[in-house]
Amino acid sequence: MPQTPKLSPQQKVALVEKIISGETSRQAAAKSVGVSVTAVRQWLRIYEAEGPDGLAPRTTSRHLTAEEKQAAVAAYLAGEGSLFDICKKYGIRSTQNLQKMVETVQAGGTLRGYHGASRHKGTAYTTAADREKIVRECLQNGCDYGVAALKYNVDYKALVRWVGQYRAGGAAALHDARHSSEGTSRAKGRERTVPPMQRLVIVLDCLENEKNYGAMAQKYAVAYHQVYRWVQRYLRDGWRGMNDKRGPTDDPGPEREWARVAPANEDAAEKWVARCAGVPDALPALLRRAGCSWCVIAKILFDLARM
């Protein structure tokens, strides 16, 4: 299917001015440049309402307020003009947009003004209970997604999805194992200190499972955001990022003491690791699969034990 040629603003202005001066008709002008008559009519309307500058590319979009939309629809329904005439009067660039507004009003819907929330990308962490609360409030307010998204700092598109899920499957449909901490110790209000060695087990397991934070949170009974934070620290600081401080420790174990107990070779290191107390059963195997030698594993365990 042939594509519609893209004309420059200057070409559009020249074409429109020929039509206005009577040098050519709309149909002939449209045919000469390979566009539809509807497109030519739209250029004419924009030119008459905004002048030649209206046909230039816009850096920002003009958005109508709710009152302007309601006035345009009321004028059309009152028979004050055609879709084309009303668009020209109220600065609406597309007759299709006006037609959609009319259909919304006729169906009993509400026209809302633009407040920027449709592009809002919130950063708030939510549980299923939080999502249910937000969705219920949004429904009570006539599904004003923008207001709810800004109030609770959640992503606008995510909120629209939650409302659809709630309508289809109720509150149970709002549970998302990838982005929730339901069922974890933190979600139930019980504080739990996770030892550095166990954190490393969770991190390595998470990386082996392609960073499935939600699954790890459920498997090890910790919060989703904790798993995410530990993985980020590990990727940035290695095993030293598993301590309780915000960042790596410069020297978690005195080098002089490590030099005294360090195994001499791989065989000795493997035996040293086997005798090391308090090591989770899965940790040595995870570290081996991560490419660590037995000597490196021994040093890691030594450092983690002193955190």
User: How do residues 84-99 score in pLDDT, each as one tens digit?
Assistant: 788 878 777 677 888 8
Residue 202 has a pLDDT of 93
pLDDT at 188 over 50: no
What is the number of residues in the chain? 307
pLDDT at 190 over 60: no
Task: State pLDDT tens for residues 288-301.
Answer: 888 889 888 888 88
Residue 204 has a pLDDT of 92
Instruction: Please check whether residues 267 and 169 belong to one and the same domain.
Output: no
Instruction: Please check whether residues 202 and 239 belong to one and the same domain.
Output: yes
Residue 182 has a pLDDT of 44
Question: What letter represents residue 144's amino acid?
Answer: D
If one counts the domains in the chain, the total is 4
Question: What letter represents residue 285's amino acid?
Answer: A
The residue that leads in pLDDT, 179 or 211, is 211
Instruction: Please check whether residues 275 and 213 belong to one and the same domain.
Output: yes
Residue 282: inside a domain: yes
Q: Measured between alpha carbons, how far is 138 from 160 in angstroms, rounded to an integer?
A: 10
Instruction: Please check whether residues 212 and 292 belong to one and the same domain.
Output: yes
Residue 20: inside a domain: yes
pTM, entire model: 0.40
Residue 70: inside a domain: yes
Residue 293: inside a domain: yes
Instruction: Please check whether residues 291 and 225 belong to one and the same domain.
Output: yes
Instruction: Please check whether residues 215 and 278 belong to one and the same domain.
Output: yes
Share of the chain above pLDDT 70, in %: 82
Instruction: Please check whether residues 297 and 253 belong to one and the same domain.
Output: yes
The residue that leads in pLDDT, 306 or 180, is 306
Instruction: Please check whether residues 34 and 127 belong to one and the same domain.
Output: no
Instruction: Please check whether residues 215 and 260 belong to one and the same domain.
Output: yes
Q: Measured between alpha carbons, how far is 286 from 172 in angstroms, rounded to an integer?
A: 35
Instruction: Please check whether residues 228 and 258 belong to one and the same domain.
Output: yes
Instruction: Please check whether residues 208 and 292 belong to one and the same domain.
Output: yes
Sign of the dihedral defined by the CA atoms of residues 78, 80, 82, 85, in that order:
negative
Residue 60: inside a domain: no
Instruction: Please check whether residues 287 and 227 belong to one and the same domain.
Output: yes
Average pLDDT over residues 277-284: 86
Residue 183: inside a domain: no
Share of the chain above pLDDT 90, in %: 3
Q: Measured between alpha carbons, how far is 85 from 95 in angstroms, rounded to an integer?
A: 9
Tokens of 48: 């008459």
Residues 6+ apart with CB under 8 A from 113: 63, 64, 65, 66, 67, 68, 69
146 falls in which pLDDT band (50, 70, 90)? confident
The residue that leads in pLDDT, 253 or 66, is 66
Domain of residue 282, residue span: 196-305
- Do the beta carbons of residue 125 and residue 225 sit within 8 Å? yes
Residue 3: inside a domain: no
Mean pLDDT estimate for the chain: 79
Residue 2: inside a domain: no
